[in-house]
Each structure stands twice: as C-alpha cells, then as structure tokens.
Amino acid sequence: MKHRIMLVDDHAIVLHGLAQLIDSAQDMEVVFQAENADIAIAALQQGIVPDLVVTDISLPGMSGIELIRHIAKRHPGIPVLVISMHDEMIHGERSFRAGARGYIMKQEATDKLLLAIRKILAGENYVSTRLQSLILEKIRGDKTTISPTSIMGKLTDREYEVLRLIGMGMACGEIAAKLNRHVKTIETHRSHLKEKFGLRNSSELYRFAATWTDHGAL
C-alpha cells in the first residue's frame, strides 16, 4: 500500500514537479495538492488523511509556519516536511519549533525529497548536517561559534508573522483581525520591530517589511 502525500505550494510548476517526483516512487503517491494553507486545512477537515504533508513556508494568506502549527495541534498524527527556497539556517529552526519533522531546500529536492519523506515516515526527523550543527551549538550554549545568521533570527514567532503581514501591506486593524489579537497588541509588536531593527517610524517599517517580503525572506 502506497503512502499518501499532501502537497502545499502556491507555485503550480513546483507542485507539478514535486507531484511527478513523488508519484514516480513505488511506495508513495500524491493524494491532494493545495495552493494555500486554507485549502489544505479544508481538505483535512473534509476527511482527506495523508500520511505526510509537504509544504512551503511562504504561502499567500496563512503562512506555512501557521499551517505547521495547525496540523501539529489538530492532526498530531500527520508529520510535516518543509520544502522551501529559503535558507534553512534562517527558517529551519523556526519550522521545527512549530512542529515540522523535516526541512529541505528546493534546490535539493530532486536528490533528497524522497529520502526525507521515507525517513520521516519511518518515525525519524530529517535535518541536514548544517542545520543539525547549528541546533546542537545552540543547545550547548556555545556562544563563541554562534552569530546571528539573519536579521530574522532576532524575532519571536509572533513578531515574525506580524512583520510578514506588514510586508504584505496590511494595516494594524487587519493584522489584529487575522491573528485574533487586539490592535494594541499589534501596535506593541510593531514598536518592538522598529526598536530591534533601528527603524525610526512606521514608514521605514513598512519599507523594510516590504523589501524582505519581496525578496522572499518572509
């Protein structure tokens, strides 16, 4: 019996390529493809039960990080593998904190995707040697070998999500409604973001967030 895989990515060409690669394997098949997190969640609620979900973290609307958290909470028996164009040293640890069981970069997909899926389905995690070293260094508290890999590493998960939504052009009220938080809470996050990045005002924050979003870092 083949393992059932769900794919979540907002790029049709990527979805098609991943589906072809997975369907070419004798032990697995793609049972559902979604272009955003909301479609994936609706499919899970309607009874589609994959053995594993493969998702990008940069998705329109709800982010891949939020999707991972949702699956970890509502469908804890379904493991998640992240496949992303973003550097694992920037987003890998955040993905694992959210509940992912593996992280692979898209340029490595052809060589490592099937290996990563099989490893996770066997009950293990899939972590590259590079990311594993970083995590071990942090666990050991080795301050001499760790430096911030990215400015994004300074953010809490909530600040990261607020910055991503600011970069998408959303105002405080819209962000508060989306995240189910008070407007004052979002304003506090905005203040923290400006302080952390040395930004003087809201205009600079919007430009900064938009630049990061446009470059695909959020």
Domains of the chain, each with CATH number or no CATH: 3-138 (3.40.50.2300), 151-214 (1.10.10.10)
Q: Where are the beta strands (DSSP E) in the chain?
A: 3-8, 28-34, 52-55, 80-84, 102-105
Q: Measure the CA–CA gap between 16 and 9, rounded to whole angstroms.
A: 10
Please check the confidence at residue 193 and state whether its pLDDT lies above 70. Answer: yes
At 96-142, the pLDDT tens digits run 989 999 999 888 888 899 999 999 999 999 987 777 766 666 555 55
pLDDT in tens, 50-109: 999 999 988 888 889 999 999 999 999 999 999 988 767 677 888 998 999 999 988 888
pTM score of the predicted model: 0.75
Burial bucket for residue 26 (CB in 10 Å: 0-12, 13-18, 19+): exposed
Q: Is the pLDDT of residue 154 over 70?
A: yes
Q: How confident is the model at residue 148 (pLDDT cuts 50, 70, 90)?
A: very low
Q: CA-CA distance, 64 to 30, in Å (whole number)?
A: 19
In sign, the C-alpha dihedral spanning 56, 59, 65, 70 is: negative
